[in-house]
Each structure stands twice: as C-alpha cells, then as structure tokens.
A and B are shown apart, each in its own frame.
Chain A
Amino acid sequence: MSDMLYGLLNALTLVNLFAALGSVFVGIVVGALPGLSAAMGVALLIPITFGMPADTALIALAGVYCGAMYGGSISAILLHTPGTSSAAATAIDGYQLTLQGKAGKALATATIASFVGGFLSTIALYTISPLLANLALKFGPTEYFWLSIFGLTIIAGVSSGSMLKGLISGALGLVISTIGMDPMLGIPRFTFGQNFLLEGLPFTATLIGLFSMSQVLVLAEKKIKDMDKIKELKDKIYLNWKETKRILPTCLRSTVIGTVIGILPGAGGTIASFVGYNEAKRFSKSDIEFGKGNIEGVAGAEAANNAVTGGSLIPTLTLGIPGNSVTAILLGGLVIQGLRPGPDLFTIHGKTTYTFFAGFAIVNIFMLILGLFGVRFFAKVSTIKDSILIPIIFSLSVIGSYAINNRMSDVWIMFIFGIIGYFVKKVDLNPAAIVLALILGPIGETGLRRTLIMNKGDLKSLFSSTISWVLIILSVLSLLSPIFMAKFEKKKDETLA
C-alpha cells in the first residue's frame, strides 16, 4: 500500500507531470499524422528518455502510446484517413458526422471516450498485474524458456497475414539475437570482426531502424500529395449533458472490451475498436443511425482502443510478453532502464512501478484536456506534408540511435536496419515479431542452456514441470489462434462493408 501511495505522490512531482504532458502532446501529434505510427514514436522516444529516472521515462513512453492511440481519431474524423489503424472503426461514423457539420461533436465524443477507456483501464493495471506477477515467482529457467516460446508464437499468430511469415520473422529475430558474445562461454559469435557487436546488436538503434527509418522509406516511395484540406471546424468541441449520458454506457462497455482484448496477447487496438463498435451497434437503441453519423459508434470504437493501452501493459510488465509492436518496444525501454518484467517490479521496484501506474492515469487526464482544448491545433498538424516529415524523422532517428552509446556505428546499424525494415514491410514479414524475438531470444537461450547444464543435457527436464506444460499448451493454442482471428476479421470486414 505504501508503494501505491508513494507512487501517486511521486507521479505528481513537477518533472513527472511535465513528462506526462509533453509526451501526450507528442503522442497525439504522432497519432494524428497518418504517416506516423505509435511504434515509431515510442521507438524514437526510448533513447531520449534514457538519461531520465526510470519512472519518468516510463511515464513518457506511456504518454506517447496513449496519445497516439487517441490522436489517430482526429484525422479519422476530419480527413477520413485514420492516423493509426486502430482508428479505422472511428472513421465510419466520425467522418459522417464531419460531413454533417458536426465534427466538433465527433471529436468531443472521441476525446471523452478515449479518456474513459484509458483512465479506467488503469484499474486493471493496479489490480491484475500484481497477481499475474506473483505467478512469475514460480518460474525457473525451464519455464522462462517456454515462456519465451509462448511469447513468440503469440506475435507470429497475429502477424499481418500469413502465419508462416510471422514465424519466419520470429526465427529471423532469433538468429539475429545470437549475434554477440555467447552468454555462457563468452565466445564471440557472428560479430564480423567488429568489437562493438560483442555485446550484441545495439537494441535501440535496431529498433529505430526497423520502425522509424523504414517508415521514412515507406513515405518516400509514394508520390507526395498535398493533404486534403481539413473541413472547417465550425461547431464547438463540446457535448451536452444529454449526449454525454447517451455515450456513457457505450464507453463503459467498450472499456471492458478493450481492457480484456488488451490483456489477451496478440489482439490489439484494431480488433478492440471493431469489437467495441459492433457491440455499441448491437446494444444501441438507435442502431439504424450507425454508419450515418452516430456518436455512439465513435465512442464505442475510441473507448475500446484506448482501453487496450492499460490492458496490454499487463502481460508486458508481469510476464514480459507484449502483445503488439508498441508494447514490444516499450518492453525494450523497460529493459534499457534496468528493469526486468516480473515480480521484482512489484517488490524491489514497487515505487517505480506504482509511480508509473499513477502517471498512466495522469497521462489520460492530460489527454482529455489537450484533446478538448487543442484539437484545432492537432487537426492542422495532421495535414503536414510527407515531404517535410521525411528528413525530419530521419534526422531524429540519427539522434535517437546515437544517444545511448554515443557511437556513430550505432547510427549505421540503424541505417542498415532501416533498409532491411523497409523490405521486411514490403514482403509482409512482421517487424514486431523480429523485435520481440530480439528481446525474448536471449531470455529463452539462457533458460534453455541453464536447464540443460543443471540436468546434464537431459532434454526430458524441459518437460518436467506443470507450468512448462501449461506454457506448451498455450503456445500450441496461440499457434491455432489465427483460426479464431479469422472470425474477427470476417466480422470486421462486414462492419466495413
């Protein structure tokens, strides 16, 4: 309890409040720009937060995550171009409202719904994570080996289209993760004679290459167009009491949906917002208006995708298995700060963790304020041309990849992985699976080799504990998950049609 109270007070210090405000601002900008993704924003922020205290750094990372999740709705509503894929469901009714001259209502709904979803998902963070973390106390090296396998099967299962390509991406990441010194024997592996590779690939530089520079190239391959003019925002960004009461049940329902989907590994904001939208439609008294500009539709989608943020942090923090690319990168940020996911976060590092949780709630409050009062500004920002974003993002990528080790060699690694990342995206491989394998690879390898050394190379020891079997079964189930996902996809297509 004392840690919780300490965290709450600590989150209210000036530095942490400033980190929350600044990062939400950046996050909303990143989300509102259709060319930029949350993953990119978080990847660029990690090196910048490197020098900060762990709690401040984590709050800042969460701020970008939450802000971007919400920011996507702004361009979805005003331009019919979702800033992030999870705002696609928002665009259905949101843009209709804009056409009717009610953009202000749509934006206010999206802002309030996002706030409710994000803010209430903090409750799940506070209550469920310590329980799940305790489970991890029972884990030995063998269990960690299977846990990393489970983590990999999850991300492979959700990959963009083909499961096989997801698995290939994971395997590629595993192979790359063996670059550097052998963890048991200290023998250099695949270092191409380069000393700086002895400690493995520089994680942040690799990440920035895969997510930020590759995005620069994706922007560069397209013909640069002038952005559509934003429809004039005539009405006020405001909901009256009656309208607020109308969307509230939808917000609450979608919050539960989003949080649960967020916790479930593999499903993310996009699925949550479509399920939230569908359920809003099913429960609504005015369901015929859906698709023609119903604020309940906007609320259903937005509350759900922002509730995912809190939910998705739970498996990331407690077990170290992030369900999507943003949390995979966040996990990287956690590790760079010297924090290991698991029970330690709630005991030894309890103060940091609970400061982060309280900061997460504060981030959502700032999101509400910035959203209600600053939306005109963000709407303008969302029309910045790609030609301007290209050099700016690359230049920021250079700073980011340089900042951690102060080496130009890391900048080159970023450059190389930027080009690799571009092709990875083009051929439908999954960059998130590669990153996850980079994180989980060493954990799995150490687990496997410790187990084998302790049991004198007896492979049967890998299958001796109940937890191991549970994890094996979960891995198999998650490999079968595309079959379930296909059902969701079908529903999603029906909604879009």
Chain B
Amino acid sequence: MRKTNLILSVILIAVCGLFYLMISQLPSEASLYPLFVTTLFLILSLILLFKTYFNKEDGEETTFKGIELKQLLFVIVTCGLYVILINITGYVLATILYVLITLIGLRVDKRNSIFISIGFCLFVYVVFKVLLNVPLPKGIII
C-alpha cells in the first residue's frame, strides 16, 4: 500500500494545484470558499504524503496485483466506443452491437450472446421506453 499511497498523495496534490490555478483567475470575493476547501484538501493530502513517507514498514503491495489488465482495458475501451456510437446510431442499435461484442470478448458463447444482446435491448425498450416513459439516447441516424 505504501507505493500506492505515495502516488495517490502526489496525484491529489497535483489536483489541488490545478484548482489553485483556476482559483487565482476568480474574482477575490468568489474565491474565498473554494480556497478554503481546496486548502483543507491540500492539508489532508500532505498529511497522507508525510505519513506514508515516514512509515517505511507498510505491508505488501496488493492494490493492483493480479488484475486482468487486458480484460479491464477491453471493457473500458468498448464502453467508451459504445457511448460514441450512441451519438451516431442512437441507443438501440449501439446497444445490440455493444452487448454482443462485449459478451463475445468475455467468452460467452456466440449463440447465447446474440440471444442476450437482442433480448436485453427488447427488454429495455419495452420496460423503459414504453412502460416507464424513460427517454433513451438518440443518435444522428435514429
């Protein structure tokens, strides 16, 4: 956990820096409260940094141990592409495609994948759009 905490506190302090930069561009009467909370955040992050730095004995590094990185990245990328695709084709088409690709990518067998992706879409359309009147994202085409 030590390495994770060190990296974490550095990132948090960098976030503080970013916010300080933006605060400096605000008129002074509007900057007081953000300045107050950002400073509070900075102080706590600094405490974490020092606490971790001076506490040498701190267990094994397990945070990202044994994760399936390829699979995780695959899921993140397909999710991102899915959102982009929705903008173009609208929710229904994009969803059938996305669910299908993700399922096959995660090694669900093909027949089940087709069945699930179409079934899920149908379910969403009927339950959300028709029964509950929840709007589904629209794209350029549909």
| Chain A interface (Cβ < 8 Å from any Cβ of B) | 47-48, 51, 164-165, 167-168, 171-172, 174-175, 178, 182, 185, 187, 189-190, 213, 216-217, 220-224, 385, 387-388, 390-392, 394-396, 398-399, 402-403, 406, 408, 411-412, 415, 418-419, 426-429, 441, 445, 448-449
Contacts and interface: CB of A to CB of B under 8 A. Distances in A.
Contacts of B44: 164, 167-168, 171
Contact of A217 (B12, B37, B48, B76): B76
Contacts of A172: 12, 15, 41
Contact of A221 (B38, B68, B107, B134): B68
Given A387-B108, A406-B135, A427-B4, A168 B63 contact: no
A479 to B, nearest CB: 13
B: interface residue count bin:
35 or more
Interface of A is mostly: helix
Contacts of B69: 221
Contacts of B74: 220
Given A168-B44, A182-B30, A411-B83, 12 more contacts: A172-B15, A175-B15, A185-B29, A224-B106, A224-B107, A388-B108, A394-B82, A395-B82, A395-B99, A411-B137, A426-B4, A429-B8
Interface string B1-30: 100110010001001000100100011011
Contacts of B72: 217, 220-221
Contacts of A395: 82, 95, 98-99, 120, 124
A313 B71 CA distance: 39
Contacts of A47: 134
A174 B91 CA distance: 34
A159 B119 CA distance: 39
Contacts of B89: none
Given A220-B71, A221-B71, A175 B19 contact: yes
Interface of B: 1, 4-5, 8, 12, 15, 19, 22, 26-27, 29-30, 33-34, 37-38, 40-41, 44-45, 47-48, 51, 63-64, 67-69, 71-72, 74-76, 78-80, 82-83, 86-87, 91, 95, 98-99, 102-103, 106-108, 116-117, 120, 124, 128, 132-137
Tell which of B38, B41, B87 has the most Cβ of chain A within 10 Å: B41
A164 B50 CA distance: 12
Contact of B19 (A185, A190, A385, A408): A190
Contacts of A448: 33
A398 B82 contact: yes
Which 4 pairs show the lowest CB-CB distances between chains A and B?
A: A387-B106, A220-B75, A391-B102, A171-B41
A59 to B, nearest CB: 15
B79 A216 contact: yes
A220 B68 contact: yes
A338 B113 CA distance: 41
Given A47-B134, A51-B134, A391 B98 contact: yes
A187 B47 CA distance: 32
Nearest to B38: A175
Nearest to B1: A428
B67 A221 contact: yes
B48 A415 contact: no
B26 A449 contact: no
Given A185-B30, A187-B30, A411 B86 contact: yes
A295 to B, nearest CB: 37
Nearest to B18: A190
A427 B63 CA distance: 7
A385 B33 CA distance: 47
A222 B134 contact: no
Nearest to A385: B108
A399 to B, nearest CB: 6
B135 to A, nearest CB: 6
B96 to A, nearest CB: 10
